Amino acid sequence: MPPVTLSRFLIEEERNKKVISADLRFLVEIVSRACKAISIAIGKGGIADVLGQAGSDNIQGEAQKKLDVISNEILLEANEWGGHLAAMASEEMEDPHLIPHRYPKGEYLLVFDPLDGSSNIDVNISVGTIFSVLRCPEGVPAVDDKVFLQPGTQQVCAGFAVYGPTTLLVLTFGDGVQCFTLDREFGHFVLTQENMRIPEDTKEFAINMSNQRFWEPPVQRYVEELLAGKDGPRGKDFNMRWVASMVADVFRILTRGGVFMYPIDAKMKDKGGKLRLMYEANPMAMIVEQAGGAASTGRERILDIRPSALHQRVPVILGSKNEVERVARYHAE
Ligand code: P6P
C-alpha cells in the first residue's frame, strides 16, 4: 500500500469520518506547508545568515531571534489569503493579526508559537512550531483578542512541528493523535505513527532543575521523591531529560512516556508561570489528553481554564496520567 500522505489522511478524515470540514482540512494543509518552509529556513542555519538576534523584542519582552520573526511572517503570509480564518494570533505579536479586507474571512481562529524553543536555534538543538485552532464566535461586533479567549476544550485542532533530525508534524482533531514525517525527497508529510498513546506510568521526568529553590512545596516533594529513586518512597529509579524545547520534550513523552513540568515558581509568580496558555499549554494539553495522558496546572485541568488574556501564562504539568495525578494530589494535600 502506498504511504498515506497528510493530504490523503485529511481527505479521509473529512470524507469518511466527518471529523473535519473542508475549510479545516485546508487550514491544516496550509499550516503544514508553512512548517515545511520554516524547516527549510532553519536548515540553512549560519549559511543563510538567519541565526542570531533580530534586534527587536516580542510582547513577552524577550529578544527575538531572526528565525522567530521569519517563522512568524511565513505563517501569517501562508494563512491570510485562504478565506478560512477570521484572525490569527501569535506569541510574537501583541495583538491579533486581522485578515486584510482584500481577502475573504472564514470561521476559524489560528493561534501559534511560530518558533518554540528558539533559544536553542543558535546551538542547533531541535525547535518547533505549536498551533491551536478555535472557531470564531458568530455575531461578534469585532474580531479582537477577546474572540480568542476560549477554554482549551473549545479547540477543534491542535498540532506541533518538531524541526529535529527529522521534521515531524503531530496532529489531533479530537479523534486520536497522528504523527507525520516530512519526506524531503517528495516534499510531503507521510503518516508514520497512528493513534499515539502515552504510557500511564513512567520512569522519566523533565524539569529545569536550576529553578528548584523557587518551586512550591508540592513540586519540591514530588521531585525529591523521584531523585530518591528505589531507596525512597517511589521504590524505583527515575531518569531525567530537559531539552528546553517543549516540542522535543512533549514528542519524547508521546513516544515513550514521561512527565514534563514547568511549575509556578517564586521568581515568576507574578507572571503566572513561564509557558503561555493559548499557544503552548492548550494545544499540548489537547494532544497529550488525546494520547491518554493528562495535563494540569497542579491545581486544575489546563483545558478547563477560562483565559483572561491572549498571552496569559500558566504552570504546566503534563504527560503520563498516573504521574500528573500524583503531582495534582500533592497540591491538594
Ligand atoms: P527554560 C522555550 O523557550 C520554552 O518556551 C519551552 O519550549 C521550553 O520548555 C521552556 O521555554 C524552557 O525554559 O527556562 O528551561 O529555558
Q: Could you give phi then psi for residue 268, rounded to 5 degrees?
A: -135, 25
CA 135 to ligand 1 center in whole angstroms: 28
CATH 3.40.190.80: which residues of the chain?
204-332
Q: Whose CA is nearest to atom 4 of ligand 1?
A: 117
Q: With CA atoms as reference, report the closest residue to 148 among 92, 85, 89, 93.
A: 89
Fold of 6-193: Fructose-1,6-Bisphosphatase; Chain A, domain 1 (3.30.540)
CA 62 to ligand 1 center in whole angstroms: 12
Pocket of ligand 1 (CB under 6 A): 116-117, 119, 208, 244-246, 274-275
The per-residue pLDDT for 133 is 98
Q: Could you give phi then psi for residue 100, rounded to 5 degrees?
A: -55, 145
Q: Which amino acid, residue 218?
A: P
The per-residue pLDDT for 327 is 98
Sign of CA dihedral 141, 143, 145, 151: positive
CA 321 to ligand 1 center in whole angstroms: 22
What's 327's DSSP letter?
H
Q: Whose CA is nearest to atom 9 of ligand 1?
A: 246
Q: Structure pTM?
A: 0.96
E runs forming strands in the chain: 53-57, 63-65, 85-90, 97-98, 108-116, 127-135, 157-163, 167-172, 177-183, 188-193, 204-206, 239-240, 259-262, 275-276, 294-296, 313-314, 316-319
The per-residue pLDDT for 292 is 98
The per-residue pLDDT for 43 is 92
Q: Which atom of ligand 1 is nearest to the CA of 208?
A: 15
Give me 32's grid cell: 503544514
What is the dotted CATH code of the domain comprising 204-332? 3.40.190.80
Q: Is 199 exposed, middle or buried (0-12, 13-18, 19+ CB in 10 A)?
A: middle
| Residue 264 three-state SS | coil
CA 223 to ligand 1 center in whole angstroms: 18
Which residue among 125, 264, 274 is best mutated to probe the pocket of ligand 1, counting the most ligand atoms within 8 A of its Cβ? 274
The per-residue pLDDT for 269 is 87
CATH 3.30.540.10: which residues of the chain?
6-193
| Residue 112 three-state SS | strand
CA 155 to ligand 1 center in whole angstroms: 23
The alpha helices in 90-244, defined as continuous H runs, are 217-228
**Cα gap 164→6, rounded to integer Å:** 19
Give me 317's grid cell: 504539568
Q: Whose CA is nearest to atom 3 of ligand 1?
A: 117
Residues of the chain with pLDDT under 50: none
CA 3 to ligand 1 center in whole angstroms: 35
The helix-helix angle for 321-332 and 217-228 (nearest 10°) equals 130
Q: Which residues contact 235 (CB under 8 A, 6 or more apart)?
A: none
Virtual CA dihedral for 146, 150, 152, 155, nearest 10 degrees? Answer: -90
CA 178 to ligand 1 center in whole angstroms: 24
